[in-house]
Amino acid sequence: MYPLSAVPLETCAIWDESGFWPPGYLALGVELLHHLGMAEDAGDDAFRTLAYEMLARMQDPCTSREECVITDQEEMIRTAIAYGVPVAGRRLEDVARAIARAIIADYLPDQRSP
């Protein structure tokens, strides 16, 4: 069991259904994006700043020690296909991180439906 899965996050289902849990900072960041999205007074700048900061951190080499925890490889592959993430010839960790980037990008204001 992944340690953060015991924390009552509203976004737990995203990771449970994706077949993996990202590093803790990403799970908590997505939770914050979720709450900002629900707040009536949160502007697009808050989303954009937080989402881009998270995406930038995922590119930082020092985060490579912070691995994703694969909970269901088959479900993760299905999720990757649904998000258009290539899987052939890639390490599972790389696929999981690409899915996490796609989930974060869903929160960007210019990506959301009006």
Interatomic CA distance for residues 90 and 100, integer angstroms: 15
Confidence check: pLDDT of 62 > 50: no
Confidence check: pLDDT of 112 > 50: no
Going by C-alpha positions, the residue among 16, 45, 61 that lies closest to residue 108 is 45
- Side-chain-facing half-sphere of 100: CA atoms under 13 Å: 32
User: What pLDDT does 61 receive?
Assistant: 47
User: What pLDDT does 96 receive?
Assistant: 93
Going by C-alpha positions, the residue among 88, 101, 93 that lies closest to residue 70 is 93
pTM of the model: 0.76
User: What pLDDT does 73 receive?
Assistant: 95
53 vs 88 pLDDT, higher one: 88
Position 93, amino acid: E
